[in-house]
């Protein structure tokens, strides 16, 4: 029955973590869940000592869908905790784990899942520093981009390393670049997503960013757009730079466009562009 197992497609990354290489979409009694490509998790819905007691091998392929979706639901708070636990049980059973065993796991999650759930809910709440940061961005008078969106890009995790908000001394650095992308968004008339803004030293390393990355200075954005190709975004930014709207770097990549306002012009293309 190996072939009938429903599981996300992943690649292994550091410390037992895996990353989704494709969106993983699943129908549940509580609604459709789409765990996005790029989502990282360590499959530890059940703490390790308990995994041992429950005779559970965390690498059992029959558990992968359950662990992935459960982790996603706990992290996002998309469903209630009970619903997330029920989805876990259902996905175990769908993949051929017996009712009794699935029930033991479920009861265990009901009894012990609080800790992880609350930790994730706490992460959703903004710290005072983050609130101040969001207020600062929102005070820049941008028409389209919000402090909350930029904050999200500073909360990403890569290979288990969490990004942070920039230190206050660098906040003003983003003024120019944010005006540029706001103007770009206005000219193009379609939604643009900020895939990356500030990157801490450690996080930048994990992203494979260059040593003197403008992201570390909070002078850069990586932009994505569902409705326009990166080339179109790149060309629009190039035209703005030629018109004297800003001086800085422009990089065209396969899936995104980099823009920064370092003060001197630089232009490059990513692999395969
Ligand atoms: Zn970049």
Nearest 5°: CA angle at 197, between 180 and 256?
75
> 45 near 70, Cβ under 8 Å?
yes
Ligand 1 centre to CA of 207 (Å) is 10
- By C-alpha distance, which of 90, 33, 84, 30 is closest to 63? 90
Most confident of 7-11, 29-33, 78-82, 178-182: 178-182
Distance CA 144, CA 238 (A): 20
In the prediction, which pLDDT does 1 show? 44
Tell whether the model's pLDDT for residue 41 goes beyond 90: no
Predicted confidence band at 124 (pLDDT cuts at 50, 70, 90)? confident
Boundaries of every domain in the chain: 2-122, 126-269
In the prediction, which pLDDT does 16 show? 75
CATH topology of domain 126-269: Muramoyl-pentapeptide Carboxypeptidase; domain 2 (3.30.1380)
Mean pLDDT (the chain) is 90
Ligand 1 centre to CA of 35 (Å) is 24
Ligand 1 centre to CA of 209 (Å) is 8
- By C-alpha distance, which of 184, 181, 179, 177 is closest to 198? 177
Ligand 1 centre to CA of 156 (Å) is 15
In the prediction, which pLDDT does 30 show? 93
Ligand 1 centre to CA of 86 (Å) is 40
Per DSSP, the three-state class of 100 is helix
Lowest mean pLDDT among 47-51, 106-110, 152-156, 229-233: 47-51
What's the half-sphere exposure (Cβ side, CA atoms, 13 Å) at 83? 15
Note the pTM of the prediction, 2 decimals: 0.65
Ligand 1 centre to CA of 76 (Å) is 26
Ligand 1 centre to CA of 127 (Å) is 26
> 157 near 163, Cβ under 8 Å?
yes
Average confidence (pLDDT) over 9-37 = 89
Average confidence (pLDDT) over 153-180 = 94
Tell whether the model's pLDDT for residue 175 goes beyond 60: yes
For the stretch 241-270, pLDDT in tens is 999 999 999 999 999 999 999 999 999 999
Distance CA 213, CA 249 (A): 11
> 251 near 270, Cβ under 8 Å?
yes
The single-letter DSSP state of residue 245 is: S
Tell whether the model's pLDDT for residue 201 goes beyond 80: yes
Ligand 1 centre to CA of 193 (Å) is 13
Question: Strand 266-269 vs strand 249-252: parallel, antiparallel, or unpaired?
Answer: parallel
């Amino acid at each position: 029955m190996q072939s009938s197992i429903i599981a996300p497609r992943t690649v292994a990354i550091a410390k037992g973590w895996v990353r989704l290489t494709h969106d993983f979409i699943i129908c549940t009694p509580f609604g459709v869940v789409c765990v996005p490509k790029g989502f990282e998790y360590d499959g530890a819905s059940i703490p390790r000592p308990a995994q041992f007691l429950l005779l559970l091998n965390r690498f059992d392929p029959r558990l992968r869908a359950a662990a992935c979706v459960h982790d996603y639901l706990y992290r996002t708070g998309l469903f209630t905790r009970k619903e997330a636990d029920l989805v876990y049980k259902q996905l175990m059973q769908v993949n051929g784990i017996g009712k009794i065993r699935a029930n033991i796991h479920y009861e265990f999650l009901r009894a012990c899942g609080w800790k992880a759930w609350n930790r994730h809910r706490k992460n959703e709440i903004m710290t005072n520093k983050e609130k101040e940061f969001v207020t600062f961005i929102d005070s820049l008078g941008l028409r389209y981009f919000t402090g909350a969106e930029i904050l999200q890009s500073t909360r990403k995790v890569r290979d288990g390393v969490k990004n942070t908000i920039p230190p206050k001394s660098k906040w003003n650095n983003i003024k120019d670049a944010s005006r540029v992308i706001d103007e770009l968004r206005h000219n193009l008339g379609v939604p643009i997503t900020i895939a990356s803004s500030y990157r801490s030293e450690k996080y930048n390393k994990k992203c494979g960013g260059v040593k003197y990355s403008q992201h570390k200075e909070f002078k850069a954005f990586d932009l994505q757009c569902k409705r326009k190709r990166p080339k179109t975004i790149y060309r629009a930014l190039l035209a703005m730079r030629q018109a004297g709207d800003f001086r800085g770097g422009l990089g065209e990549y396969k899936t995104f466009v980099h823009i920064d306002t370092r003060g001197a012009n630089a232009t490059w293309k990513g692999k395969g562009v």
